[in-house]
Homo-oligomer: A and B are copies of this chain.
């Protein structure tokens, strides 16, 4: 995707801007800045001043939170059309986590103070933001529940199914999770170790549930993995 000119078509189909007419979209685009962030670079950094908010136009980002002793947890993945860096909408002055480009990303950014301006002028924009926030709160509650109550095997299965739901692409072999995903990433999403993820993936491959290459995961038997995630089948 090459953004040489800020045109309405870039944002007119996206959830945050639904219901805005051509003039509204032009208002929104005034002062927007397009940027390209290379794979593995940071879009914004945890604890940094929340100067801007963003919409992802193309690519994939992961939201990562680090602990004081340097451990990392992947909080969620962001797909095209989603807002990110909306700290300002939640009355925060700093970003609570970092956003890292998983592949090359194209984004639009706005100064944070414009968020309130948009929300006041376009109620659907404000509602869309808070719907996003509501979904993320719900997802986090689910993640907490899973971490608190589920065996690691079910947790990892749930995480893969969520990624397939969010970013899956049908192929001959099954549902391919369509971005680079390492076993370490899966460990950081589910609060377990690389060793455990490797052990599980190997067992699941033997059972025909998943196929995995370097940085790639394909769910070859989604129904089987679902039953396992729900605890309705024997453990590996």
Interface of A toward B, CB cutoff 8 Å: 65, 67-69, 71, 73, 75, 87, 89-92, 96-97, 127, 130-131, 133-134, 136-138, 140-141, 143-145, 147-149, 188, 190-191, 230-231
**Contact, CB under 8 Å: A144 / B143:** yes
Smallest distance from the beta carbon of A137 to chain B beta carbons, Å?
Answer: 6
Q: Which of B133, B143, B147, B148 contacts A133 (CB 8 A)?
A: B133
B147, A144: Cβ atoms under 8 Å?
yes
Looking at chain A's contact residues, the main secondary structure is: helix
Q: How many chain copies does the complex carry?
A: 2
Find the B residue at minimum CB distance from A134: B90
Bound-state CA distance A68–B65 (Å) is 29
Q: Is the CB of A90 within 8 A of B144?
A: no
Q: Are B87 and A134 in contact (CB under 8 A)?
A: yes
The answer to whether B91 touches A149, judged by C-beta atoms less than 8 angstroms apart, is no
Given contacts A73-B145, A87-B134, list 4 more A-B pairs with CB under 8 A: A65-B141, A96-B137, A133-B133, A137-B137
23 A-B interface contacts by CB (under 8 A): A65-B141, A65-B144, A71-B148, A71-B149, A73-B148, A73-B149, A75-B144, A89-B130, A89-B134, A90-B130, A90-B133, A91-B131, A91-B134, A92-B134, A92-B138, A96-B138, A96-B141, A97-B141, A133-B133, A133-B137, A136-B137, A137-B140, A149-B191
